[in-house]
């Protein structure tokens, strides 16, 4: 890891559009809404402020809705149970 980002992602050289991620963290993962239609996701590291979180559903055409984003995690919700999803969070890392 270099500056909070895995080296395979380019460390400080990773860019989104034309904006370098210097001083930022990019976390990613996957989950499953399980028997209910929502699941709490906890980040592996805390952000300095609430990050931008995106998600995509991998098990159907139904969407995954992200809510309650904080510095430590978010809630992923689906219309039906047992929806598998991937997520990404980008934001300012803590000092």
What does the pLDDT look like over 31-90, one tens digit per residue? 988 877 889 999 988 999 999 999 998 877 778 899 999 999 999 998 887 888 999 999
Give me 22's structure tokens: 């210097």
What does pTM read for this prediction?
Answer: 0.74
Q: Which of 75, 61, 8, 77 is nearest to 26 (CA)?
A: 8
Q: What is the pLDDT of residue 21?
A: 63
Q: What is the pLDDT of residue 61?
A: 74
Q: What is the mean pLDDT of residues 12-27?
A: 59
Q: What is the pLDDT of residue 7?
A: 39
Q: What is the CATH number of domain 25-92?
A: 2.60.40.2080
Q: What is the pLDDT of residue 68?
A: 97
- Domain boundaries, given as residue ranges, for the chain: 25-92
Q: Which of 40, 37, 12 is nearest to 26 (CA)?
A: 12
């Amino acid at each position: 890891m270099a500056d909070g980002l895995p080296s395979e992602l380019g460390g400080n050289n990773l860019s989104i559009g034309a904006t370098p991620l210097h001083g930022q963290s990019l976390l990613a993962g996957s989950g499953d809404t399980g028997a209910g239609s929502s699941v709490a996701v906890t980040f592996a590291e805390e952000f300095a402020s609430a990050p931008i979180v995106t998600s995509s559903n991998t098990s159907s055409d139904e969407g995954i809705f992200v809510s309650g984003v904080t510095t430590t995690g978010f809630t992923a919700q689906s219309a039906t149970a047992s929806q598998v999803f991937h997520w990404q969070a980008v934001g300012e890392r803590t000092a």
